[in-house]
Amino acid sequence: MTQNLFLFASIADAPIAIRSTEIEAVVRLGDIVPIPLVPPHVRGLAALRSRVLTIIDMESRIFGRDNRDQRATLAIVADIAAHSYGFLVDTVSDICQAPDGIRPIRGRIDPAWAPYAAGLVEQGGRSHLLLSLSDFVAAPGASALAA
Amino acid sequence: MDEILAEFIAETLETLDVLSGEVVAWEADPTDKSRLDAFFRFFHTVKGSCGFLNLPRFERLAHGAEDVLAAVRRGERIADPATVTAVLAVMDRIGALARGIGEDEQIAESDDDALLDALSLNSGGFELFDPLPPKQVAPTTVETPDVTEIANDDEIHMETAPAEAPARRSSDGAGRERAPRTIRLPLALIDQLMNGISDMVLARNDLARKMRDHGVDPELEGSFERLSANVADLRDMISKTRMQRVDRLYAAIPRMVRDLTRELGKKAVLELDGGDVEMDREMVEMVVDPLTHIVRNALDHGIEAPADRLVAGKAEAGTLRIVARQSGNQIVIEIGDDGRGINRAALVEKAVAAGLYSPVEAAALSETEKLNLIFHPGLTTAAQVTSISGRGVGMDVVRANIEQIGGVIGITSAYGHGTTITMRVPLTLTIIPGLIVRCGDHFFAMPRGNVVELLHQNSAMISIESIGGASIATIRGERYSVVDLEDVLKVPRLAETTGPRTLMVVRSSIGQPYVLGVQGVESNEELVIRPATPVVTAAGVFAGMTLPDNGQPMLLLDAAGIAQVAQLPLRESDARGRPATEQAETEVRTDMIQALIYRERDGAERLLPLAVVDRVEDLEPGQITISGGHAFARIDDRLLPALNTIGHETAPPKSLRLYDGHEQICYLIDDVVDIIEVPAKLDVQLAAGRIAGLVMVGDMQFEMLDPFMLFAEAATRNARGADQSARPIQCLIADAEDPWMRTILAPLLIQAGHDVSFGVAAEGEPDVILCSDAQAVETAAEVPVLALRALADPTAGAPASIYRYDRDTLMAAIAQAARRAA
């Protein structure tokens, strides 16, 4: 049943969907401590009780922008390869089933999105781009290619 | 069922660990009833559980061993070495099988028969260190378990085992004080527990801040204090759940020592001390491999064969002593043997042969530095590679492993008397004392173990100078590179600075110590370290992350990484880089040669062309022999002519080994001073015995020795006087590859004022061609050819050849040939 359960959110005004199996929680962040010498999409560290999250800005990674002066409040928490991450999102709308499942992408999407979007998920009459969180923590070399 | 099986495997392996240490003690004293009982119980339990879990192979092995032990218990059989070895083999097999459950790799079942045969073989009287007899297939059926017997036993134990097991376990606990009652917990649960406590500490700190801000009544504050103290205690306690006794580290060693000494035909007494010291279980895992390696080395290379030990006046059995103790927040493990120690000279020789150091650099190494060469990749003093060690892939890996966990390894050795290796490792991997430093707007943690010293920038102890963009600090005469953390991390400095900056002298595992400048050091805390995410560690300067008590996440700095990012010189790069550049320069600038400045025994400083110096070595006075008025040095079972002896040698003289491509001589000196570049042509040419001429170096002038004369003197002891021709004669050396021609003859000709070219195809018209008599050259032109022979005997070489150290004849022949050409 969890196969078709998705979190629907938005980044950069685009609706996105993330498989619920990848997600641990959605939290409001406190202060983010910036890290020197890392790519701009690594926003910094944030404390979640006794855990330390590495905060990833997906929008920055997709478009190669430096958003470090912008505010960030909402993050999806996920454990990937034994490390805890927080992925910044602008809004979160819902977690629910998508009865139609994942459909292939029709039409040409922005090339910036292409390396990350794995399909479309329909919810509430709108299509959402399906993203996988683990794509955003891969080696920085891959990031340069994608950007 | 799976759960029971997993528990069976874990329990079996753990018991095996404990028992392997005891089995050796049992062998030493076979009459020890209680140990025998312990083994018997082990096999009995395995056998019982196996029947229950349907593992027939385990059962058959355990049954065989149990039978033998039962016979020993009844006094029908004695625990001789063969029996012990056979029992050990069965224990090993049970361990291997237990580990193999659930994995694909399987051990052939037929192998078990050989083990059981070895068990049933009642040998009676093997020498303690004899190798095992070949596996016998003799049809001794006396004690081999037959099938029906097993089946009978099975039924009995099927019923009794489950009921019996718990009872036995509790009696174990009462009987043996060393093994307190324990339960098995998954590590993940303990980690969760630790995280929970950390959360609690953070919540407490938060509450404390809020209470301070609001001001609460003393009664509430008292309650809070009590809660706070409890939380602190709890945190200490939970940290202890990760601790393990060093005994666990020791468990496998007696067995290893026993097996190795048998294999090597040596005898050794093992002393273990400090088994009750506790260290982090992860740390125990990390130390097992290095410790094993060092013990193997000690047995293989350190402790001598019994006969050699007796000759050296030592006890027949060597002593291997392992001591663990806690020293502050470090665990110190010392492994000492009373074996032959480390031959520093051999190590240095290998390092020179491997091109790590030039002979001059090697001669300048301190005793400790020489000893530390053993940690260099690829160097070993083992004369032969054995199956146990000596491949030279060892101590460097050991050092790397220890340093990786923030430890330090040191070595002391007295040649002939033994070696002691000391490992110092932190108590735990996850909680380290750290300094919180400020850098611009950021805060970072630095492990306190890396920080040697803290100084204020305006301290009188330190002076900083800026040279060519690099900044260098001098503290008590030592020079350090200075890096500012803000520059390394590329963060802006604070605009308004408050007070002087703080300078930390930082030591890392890979490089020389350096000075790291920070805005300030804020506090000093025990930090719980977690690994940082890969994208953060990719920056190269962060070792981990932590959450200090203020609740703000923080990164832990990596001292070695900062040195790398700042491109500070590493430990070996300067020593290695120099010979390489020298070589490159000599190739480009052929008119310059390298010369060694050395101090003669009368105190005068002179020069020698570096090309003829093969190595610098320290000789023992006993190595110098005077025979027939001539001195010889015995080196590597050869007698080399020694120049400059002062009669009876008392102090150990230093010697330059000179090499002309064929012959070696020792030239005794007081000490080596430096290496410089000088022009190949001397500034003033002299012909005064060994002195070739004068060379100006800066505002000094040095006498340059004439290696030709030294070799001539050593070879004939009567080549005196010199003949110098003032006219430049074009000399062509036919064989450019011949080292003698290149390093001895060519400089001689140049010093005599002649011009030298190499190779048959050289340009220009030579006045004379020089070649070795073995490789005579034919020329079309009527240029005279001088053939030189290596031996003094005129009949030994080609006709009309000239003995190459017969300087007078050679010079005369060159002059005559040149006159003829003119």
Note whether B555 contacts A34, CB cutoff 8 Å.
no
pLDDT score recorded for residue B464: 86
> Considering only CA atoms, which of B795, B819, B813, B792 is closest in space to residue B803?
B792
- Provide the 8-state DSSP code for B300: I
Q: A86 to chain B: which residues are within 8 Å by CB?
A: none
Phi, then psi, of B502 in degrees rounded to 5: -105, 140
What is the structure's pLDDT at A42?
Answer: 92
Would the CB atoms of A38 and B552 count as touching at under 8 Å?
no
pLDDT of residue A19: 92
Nearest to B18 by CA among B239, B259, B180: B180
Decide: A17 and A123 in contact? Cβ < 8 Å: yes
pLDDT in the model for residue A36: 92
CB contact under 8 A, B539 and A36: yes
Cα separation, B520 vs B501, whole angstroms: 6
Contacts of B553 in chain A (CB under 8 A): 33, 45-47, 52
Quick check: B64 and B149 in contact, CB under 8 A?
A: no
Q: What is chain B's mean pLDDT, rounded?
A: 75
Which residue among A42, A50, A85 places its CB closest to the CB of B202? A50
CA of A34: which chain B residue's CA is closest?
Answer: B442
Number of helical (H) and strand (E) elements in chain B, helices listed first: 24, 35
Determine whether the interchain pair B553/A47 forms a contact, defined as Cβ–Cβ distance below 8 Å.
yes
User: CA-nearest residue of chain B to A33?
Assistant: B553
Which of A30-34, B239-243, B284-288, B650-654 is most confident? A30-34
Q: Could you please report the per-residue DSSP string of B328-365?
A: TTEEEEEEEE-S----HHHHHHHHHHTTSS-HHHHHT-
Collect all residues of chain B within an 8 Å Cβ-Cβ radius of residue A38.
Answer: 535-536, 538-539
- pLDDT (0 to 100) of residue B821: 60
For residues B481 and B7, the model is more confident at B481
Output the pLDDT for position B554: 92
What are the C-alpha distances in Å from B149 to residues B62, B63, B137, B141, B756? Answer: 14, 10, 21, 13, 95
Q: Which of B442, B535, B556 to mutate to test the interface with A (most CBs of A within 10 A)?
A: B535
Cβ under 8 Å to B: A residues 64-123:
81-83, 85
- Is A13 within 8 Å of chain B by CB? no
Contacts of B538 in chain A (CB under 8 A): 38, 139-140
Distance of CA A46 to the CA centre of its chain: 16
H helix runs in B265-305, sequence order: 281-297
Comparing B248-252, B366-370, B407-411, B644-648, the range with the smallest average pLDDT is B644-648
Judge whether B560 and B539 are in contact, CB under 8 Å. Answer: no
Q: In what order do the strands lie in the sheet with B330-337?
A: B268-273, B318-327, B330-337, B418-426, B408-414
pLDDT at B274: 86
Task: Domain ranges for chain A, please list them.
Answer: 2-131
B753: region left, alpha or beta (phi > 0 left; psi from -120 to 50 alpha): left
Q: What is the mean pLDDT of residues B230-235?
A: 87
Q: Which residues of B touch A (CB under 8 A)?
A: 195-196, 198-199, 201-202, 442, 489-491, 530-536, 538-542, 545-547, 551-555
The verdict on A142 touching B (C-beta cutoff 8 Å) is no
Check residue A147 and give its pLDDT: 35
Residue B637 three-state SS = coil
The predicted pLDDT at position B174 comes to: 38
A49 closest CB neighbour out of B199, B539, B555: B199
| pLDDT tens-digit map of B67-87 | 888 888 777 777 777 777 788
Residues of A in contact with B534 (CB under 8 A): 81, 83, 137, 139
Give tens-digit pLDDT for B402-418: 877 777 888 888 888 88
Query: Cα separation of B45 and B62, whole Å?
Result: 9
* Spatial separation of the C-alpha atoms in residues B105 and B113, rounded to whole Å: 19
- Residue A139 touches chain B, beta carbons under 8 Å: yes
Report CB contact under 8 Å: B195, A47. no
Cβ–Cβ below 8 Å for A33 and B552? yes
- Determine, for residues B546 and A52 on separate chains, whether the beta-carbon distance falls below 8 Å: yes
Token pair for B374: 């053993």
Q: Are B433 and B525 in contact (CB under 8 A)?
A: yes
Any CB–CB contact under 8 A between A137 and chain B? Answer: yes
Instruction: Give mean pLDDT, residues B724-743.
Output: 71
What are the pLDDT digits (tens) for B452-463?
A: 889 888 888 888
Per-residue model confidence as pLDDT tens digits over B753-786: 777 877 765 556 777 888 877 776 666 566 778 8
Q: Per-residue pLDDT tens for B643-654?
A: 777 666 666 778
Residue with tokens 């006396």: B142
Other C-beta atoms lying within 10 Å of the C-beta of residue A142: 12
Amino acid residing at B601: R
| Six-digit token string for A61 | 């990674």
Chain-centroid distance, C-alpha B705: 40
Chain B positions touching A50 (Cβ under 8 A) are 195-196, 198-199, 201-202, 547
Query: pLDDT tens digit string along A6-48?
Result: 999 999 889 999 999 999 999 999 889 999 999 889 999 998 8
Average pLDDT score over residue span B30-53: 76
Q: Give the lowest-confidence range in A64-73, B604-613, B686-695.
A: B686-695
CB-based contact B536 A38, cutoff 8 Å? yes
CA distances from A23 to A6, A30, A46, A93 (A): 9, 19, 17, 15
Query: B282 near B242, Cβ under 8 Å?
Result: yes
Give A-chain residues touching B529 at CB under 8 angstroms. Answer: none
Asked whether the beta carbons of residue A34 and residue B547 sit closer than 8 angstroms, the reply is no
> A83 and B442 in contact by Cβ < 8 A?
no
Residue B727 has pLDDT above 90, yes or no: no
ipTM score: 0.88
Decide if B533 and A54 are in contact by the 8 Å CB cutoff.
yes
Q: What pLDDT score was predicted for residue B716?
A: 62
Q: Any idea what DSSP says for residue B684?
A: E
pLDDT at residue number B504: 92
Pairing mode, strands B671-679 and B592-599: antiparallel
Instruction: Say if residue B553's pLDDT is above 80.
Output: yes
In this prediction, residue B762 carries a pLDDT of: 54
Q: Determine whether the interchain pair B533/A46 forms a contact, defined as Cβ–Cβ distance below 8 Å.
A: no
Whole-number Å distance between alpha carbons of B594 and B762: 24
Q: Is A36 on the interface with B (CB under 8 A)?
A: yes
Rounded average pLDDT over B267-289: 85
What is the predicted pLDDT for the residue at B583?
A: 40
The CATH number of domain A2-131 is 2.40.50.180: yes
> Which residues from B are below 8 Å from A81, CB to CB?
534
Q: For residue B107, what pLDDT band results from cuts at 50, 70 and 90?
A: low
The distance of A48 to chain B (nearest Cα, Å) reads: 9
| pLDDT tens column, A77-113 | 999 887 899 999 999 988 888 888 888 887 788 888 8
Going by C-alpha positions, the residue among B464, B461, B502, B456 that lies closest to residue B480 is: B464
Residues in chain B closer than 8 A to A52 (CB atoms): 530, 545-547, 553
Please check the confidence at residue B140 and state whether its pLDDT lies above 70.
no
Closest Cα of chain B to A11: distance in Å? 22
Cα gap B329→B278, rounded to integer Å: 11
3-state secondary structure A27-50: EECCCCECCCCCCCCEEEEEEECC
